[in-house]
Amino acid sequence: MSQLTRGEVILAQISRSFAGLRAVENLDLTVRAGEFLSLLGPSGCGKTTTLRMVGGFDRPDSGAITISGERVEHLPPNRRDVNTVFQSYALFPHMDVAQNIAYGLRQRGIRKDELRKRVADALDLVQLMKFAHRKPDKLSGGQQQRVALARAIVNRPSVLLLDEPLAALDRQLRDQMQVDLKLLQADLGMTFIFVTHDQGEAMSMSDRIAVMYGGRIEQLATPSTIYDAPETAFVASFIGQQNFLDGTVSADCQTVHGTSWSLPVTAERAVGPATAVKVAIRPETVRLTAVDDRSGCALGATVLTVANLGAHVRYVLRLDGGAEFIAVTPRGDDSIRPNDPVFALIDPRRILVFSAAESTEVTQPKPLIAAHPHDRSNQ
């Protein structure tokens, strides 16, 4: 194994079915050595099944899995250079923190002096040295999660798999653990593959994100690219908030026309004349004005509701054609009130256009796609 391949994970044409239903289908993915990659998607998209196949808890029906340069799809979990942290931390209640962390080392017959040093190093990394002799039931949820992490990294695997490890924590603690996890990964230089349905988690921690849907990867890119340049309507709808407007492309392919509005077509996404499309506009790219500016890139509307979000204000509008539309602007001008007529100014560079045939459904998996039968969260 070379230093260049240690921690690299390659999935080639991986497929997995349960009871005749396809959970993962012909999936290709390369995880770079030392990167933090998140598998992100809604329930039933195949992300947990993919992680379980990397970890050896499931075997693919077809395809190859290579970890650190070695083919492993035929190997059990204990013979792969990976460790897994699950949503349920599975700590031994009769053992204290240090004993929980040392368990795997003892199973491997590590010498006592080396074992003590590695346990101490792991405790120091997760900042739990003073809790070394405390039992799990005397720890908070965040502390238990840190013990599970320490137990996983003490064996020094090249790849750490994390299956919704923050799901049981409250929001404030989850936010802190996101920071801590990323710092820990950077310190270790270890490859992390993180499964989540929470886009905020994925966006805040990942070097790259693989957005999954229907057993396939819809897009694999950096968080900023996923957000600013989604390749499909599903990715656009799943990441952040999006306004979708139904329209038709003009004969000269320069404009999309909807009910009572027209917007320019961006040159980056080619669409044919008379094509039915979905126009995607992020709420935070919209500015509101009371000035009639239909000559520019503007939508006439009436304000339905105004919500103060602290640093920002969210407006729900009804466009002149009847569609609802959301604008989120920095807090400043408090003069706009419900029932006011306004114009929503759109930056043409931030308009995305997708085929109307593309799905934007994010609440249910595609038909005939099965989640893993042992996954309680149906992820």
Task: Write down the domain spans for the chain.
Answer: 9-81+157-233, 243-355
Predicted confidence (pLDDT) at residue 368 exceeds the cutoff of 70: no
In whole angstroms, what is the distance from residue 173 CA to residue 338 CA?
Answer: 36
Question: How confident is residue 3, by pLDDT bands cut at 50, 70 and 90?
Answer: low
Q: Span 9-81+157-233: which CATH code?
A: 3.40.50.300
- The CATH-assigned architecture of domain 243-355 is Beta Barrel (2.40)
Question: Which one, of 203, 196, 134, 186, lies nearest residue 165 by Cα?
Answer: 196
Cβ proximity of 353 and 277 under 8 Å: yes
User: What are 41-80's pLDDT values in tens digits?
Assistant: 998 899 999 999 999 999 999 999 999 999 999 999 989 9
Contact 10, 27 (CB under 8 A): no
206-224, pLDDT tens digit by residue?
999 999 999 999 999 999 9
Highest mean pLDDT among 15-29, 260-274, 288-302: 15-29
Q: Name the most confidently modeled range: 170-174, 192-196, 267-271.
A: 192-196
Amino acid 170: pLDDT: 79
d(CA 127, CA 143): 9
Among the residue ranges 61-70, 90-99, 107-116, 351-360, the one predicted with the least confidence is 351-360
pLDDT score, position 376: 38
- Binned at pLDDT 50, 70 and 90, residue 168 comes out as confident
Query: Helix (H, G, I), strand (E, B), or coil: what is residue 336?
Result: coil
pLDDT on residue 177: 82
**Quick check: 368 and 22 in contact, CB under 8 A?**
yes
Closest CA to 366 of 212, 211, 242, 230: 212
This prediction's pTM = 0.86
Question: Quick one: average pLDDT of 339-357?
Answer: 90
Residue 372 has what pLDDT?
Answer: 44
